[in-house]
Amino acid sequence: MPILTAMNARALSGTKPGEVSALRALLLVLLFLMWCSRVMAQQESETEELAKKTQNPVADLISVPLQNNFNFGAGFNHNKMIYALNVQPVIPVNLNEEWNLITRIIMPIINQPSLFPTHGGALPSTTGTGFGDFNPTFFLSPAKPGELIWGNGPTFTLPTATDRNLGAGQFSIGPAGVVLTMQGHWVFGALMNNQWSVAGWGDKPVNAMLLQPFVNYNLPDGWYLTSAPIVTANWKADKGGDVWTVPLGGGFGKLFRLGQVLPLEGHPIAKLPINTQLAAYGNVAHPEFGPKWQLRFQLQFLFPK
């Protein structure tokens, strides 16, 4: 400010006192606007960096996503809806300066109506409500990755379903891996695993693959565009047409602080970041009685360090 005053003292010599005061006030306003612009730019950068962490499956970030999946068009007449709430806590563990262990467990809560006619009880019902099979995964990932970010490790499926219609009744295990990169506002990559059953009481052995490519484009003010379809293959399906489920689609998301939507001024929880997402996917390939499309809504609580 002294430099600006000195520079303008010579330029303003000979001007009236009122004009000098007005010009000084204008300079103060301009400096204030420049400061506000810098602060806003810094906040915008911090918001986008946090949004990118939510889009990175092996980020060093504690989070609790609640993913609501509404699967429409299932069943014998393709008029049933299967609902699944996936509670997916993600907890990173810093092993040392070079490596992180990213722990994630998917705990599904499922409501499934009867998908086939029972003919007055002559055929068994497929109705079920409760927990599905839990799926923990452990990714070993570099703590300081380069442009290519990756992680790999084991994944398991535990026979925790509270109803025989909601799980496979098998203990399964297999490898899992993820690779991604961040280029400007873009975040894109893929997650993949394959599991085989090794024990259990279910009727059929398990040999299943999951592939989730994802692409995100981050916009100003915490908004972003997203596509993350979950492609699955049941290699043990009875019919060739029932092997693949291939969705196509996408949606959008928004990152915000809890205090922006609730009157929590001055409360520490007001700064809690929350990531929301809404997307729709149509299944271009699916089992004969599988759902035709899916609506996915996610609410994710974030706990940055």
The pLDDT assigned to 213 comes to 98
The pLDDT assigned to 17 comes to 62
Percent of the chain with pLDDT over 90: 74
Name the token pair of 118: 């029972």
pLDDT band at 51 (very low <50, low <70, confident <90, very high): very high
Residues in the chain: 305
Name the token pair of 174: 């297999």
Residue pLDDT, tens place only, 75-94: 999 999 999 999 999 999 99
Q: Over 50: is that where the pLDDT of 231 sits? A: yes
Give the residue with greater pLDDT, 39 vs 178.
178
User: What average pLDDT is seen over the chain?
Assistant: 89
pLDDT band at 69 (very low <50, low <70, confident <90, very high): very high
Q: Over 70: is that where the pLDDT of 9 sits? A: no
The enclosing H or E element of 21 equals helix 17-54
The pLDDT assigned to 16 comes to 61
Cα–Cα distance for residue pair 131/268, rounded to 1 Å? 34
- Number of other CB atoms surrounding residue 229 within 10 Å: 21
Q: Over 70: is that where the pLDDT of 30 sits? A: no
What's the helix, strand, coil split of the chain in %, to 5?
A: 20, 50, 30
The enclosing H or E element of 4 equals helix 2-11
Residue pLDDT, tens place only, 237-291: 999 899 999 999 999 999 999 888 888 888 888 899 999 999 999 999 999 999 9
pLDDT band at 39 (very low <50, low <70, confident <90, very high): very low
Provide the whole-model pTM. Answer: 0.83
146 closest CA partner among 181, 194, 189, 198: 181
Residue pLDDT, tens place only, 99-153: 999 999 999 999 999 998 876 665 677 789 999 999 999 999 999 999 999 999 9
Q: Over 90: is that where the pLDDT of 52 sits? A: yes
The pLDDT assigned to 118 comes to 72
Cα–Cα distance for residue pair 172/221, rounded to 1 Å? 42
Q: How many helices (H) and strands (E) does the chain have?
A: 2, 15
Residue pLDDT, tens place only, 181-228: 999 999 999 999 999 999 999 989 999 999 999 999 999 999 999 999
Q: Over 50: is that where the pLDDT of 12 sits? A: no
Half-sphere exposure (CA, 13 Å, Cβ side) for 282?
Answer: 1
The pLDDT assigned to 32 comes to 58
Cα–Cα distance for residue pair 248/227, rounded to 1 Å? 8
Average pLDDT over residues 44-61: 92
Cα–Cα distance for residue pair 84/25, rounded to 1 Å? 60
The pLDDT assigned to 260 comes to 85
Contacts of 277 (CB under 8 A, 6+ apart): 226, 251, 252, 253, 254, 296, 297, 298, 300
The pLDDT assigned to 120 comes to 63
The pLDDT assigned to 25 comes to 67
Q: Over 50: is that where the pLDDT of 163 sits? A: yes
The pLDDT assigned to 89 comes to 98
